[in-house]
Amino acid sequence: MKLTLPFHRFFLFILFAFLFSWIGLVVLPWMELGHQPPIQDADSEDLTPWNASGAAHAGEHVYAADGCVYCHTQQVRPASSGADLVRGWGTAKDGDGKDVTRRTYPRDYIWQGRVFLGYSRNGADLSNVGDRFPDEAALYNYLYDPYILSPRSSMPEYRFLFVKQKISGRQADDALDLTGADAPPAGYEIVPSPEAKVLVAYLLSLKKGYHLKPDEAGLPYVPPSTKSSS
């Protein structure tokens, strides 16, 4: 005797399975983490974390369109889960110029319109990339030709984000300083496009050199060398 499950019961089973998964994976995390406010110290009007500029928020769209998320993450794991902190990916300078080394937390992302946690690390983690480049010019050069900084880099060139134009009068303030095979012909210069400018503004905004409350920051990271010597 063959037992058959009525269609409406099968449909309800599938529906409840989907709703149960959706509530557990989307609704409950959103209720717990989706409304975290910034932190304001009693002695200051500064908010932690700080918000980025309008140009940086516009750069989120370029970051997504150019596929950066497929090779880079923006999440620093705790010391017990990997070597992110040892590699320096969780280090940025605070307002006093001191290094802050820690993992990332949900509160770090409250101002971001789109959160690019990522899932593959063909390249370095970018949680604090804004602290690893001194200014816009260094990042422009790196996007134009990554091999200048790292000859073994697997990152593709993003030359389509730049424009070659004839120099009119004096050189543009944001013209790239290129030499060798990358240098433009005499009388010409390479300048960043509007997309390159907002992308660099976004990348430079990625720095988490601020202290969170003890319940958010967790225990401070102690390098293995310090542990063994103490």
Q: State pTM to two decimals.
A: 0.80
Q: What is the CA radius of gyration of the chain?
A: 23
| Helix (H) / strand (E) containing 146 | none
Query: What contacts 31, CB < 8 A, 6 or more positions away?
Result: none
Task: Specify the 3-state DSSP secondary structure of 93.
Answer: strand
Give helix 194-205 / helix 136-144 axis angle, nearest 10°: 120
Q: What rounded mean pLDDT belongs to the chain? A: 85
**Nearest residue to 217 (alpha-carbon basis) of 84, 125, 106, 52:** 106
Separation CA 188–CA 131 (nearest Å): 31
**For residue range 164-178, what is the model confidence (pLDDT) as tens digits?**
999 988 999 999 999
For 3, other C-beta atoms within 10 Å of its C-beta total 4
* pLDDT for 4 beyond 90: no
